Amino acid sequence: MSLLAPIDRWLAPPPDPRKVAWIGGHEFAHRGLHGPGVPENSAAAFAAAIARGMGIECDLQRSADGEAMVFHDWELDRMTGESGPVARRTAG
């Protein structure tokens, strides 16, 4: 068990199972329906998921100027030619 697990449970407790039971009856595309030539969390990945009737799970982070950024990793390194935290970049 992670040393941070108690903190995670306190800051983001699991939802009441009765309130989220409906979600199990649906298919979701994690970060959109991505693959070769279609990057995760992209408009194309979201459009592909919608075309197949799937729900979409996406990741939001706040930029340095307070805007919502759709990006999974905390750092830019894996998905872009840039490096460093997403939170240090501005939306503009």
- Residues 36-85 have pLDDT tens digits of 999 999 999 999 999 999 999 998 999 999 999 999 999 999 999 999 99
Are 65 and 90 in contact by the 8 Å Cβ rule? The answer is yes
CA angle in degrees (0–180, nearest 5) for 9-12-15: 95
pTM exceeds 0.85:
no
**Largest Cα span, the chain:** 43
**What's the chain's average pLDDT?**
90
Phi, then psi, of 47 in degrees rounded to 5: -65, -40
Phi, then psi, of 81 in degrees rounded to 5: -85, 5
Sign of CA dihedral 27, 30, 36, 41: positive
